[in-house]
Amino acid sequence: MRVALTSMAEAEVAAAIDWYEAEAPRIGIGFMDEFDALLRRVGNNPAEFPRLRGDVRRAGLPRFPYGLLFRTRHDVVEVFACFHVSRDPRSWQTRL
């Protein structure tokens, strides 16, 4: 399936990469590589990931405390959040 990120999700990914790069060189690139690998998994088999509510699913990055929230619409996987797991979940629930 095709995977599409909302502008909010893209901004969150960019902010996470910037933050990790500022902390230590190459960590941001590691985040980006792991994020890209997870997007491929989500696109190949979105049903592999657990449902949170309704049609919303969550996929976690293995080495980083971030999760992707997405839903499938026809033949597109829409990623609408890339959030740090310590954030208040209400911050993404308003996007539904």
pLDDT score recorded for residue 89: 63
Single-letter amino acid code for the residue at 32: M
What pTM was estimated for this model as a whole?
A: 0.88
Question: CATH number, domain at 16?
Answer: 3.30.2310.20
- Looking at residues 11-35, what average pLDDT do you find? 94
Q: What distances in angstroms separate CA 68 from CA 22, 29, 44, one per listed residue?
A: 22, 17, 15
Using CA atoms, how far apart are residues 6 and 11, in angstroms rounded to an integer?
9
Residue 3 binned pLDDT confidence (cut-offs 50, 70, 90): very high
Residue 86 binned pLDDT confidence (cut-offs 50, 70, 90): confident
| Structural domain range at position 51 | 2-93
Tens digits of residue pLDDT in 32-80: 999 999 999 999 999 999 998 899 999 999 999 999 999 999 899 999 9
Our count of domains for the chain comes to 1
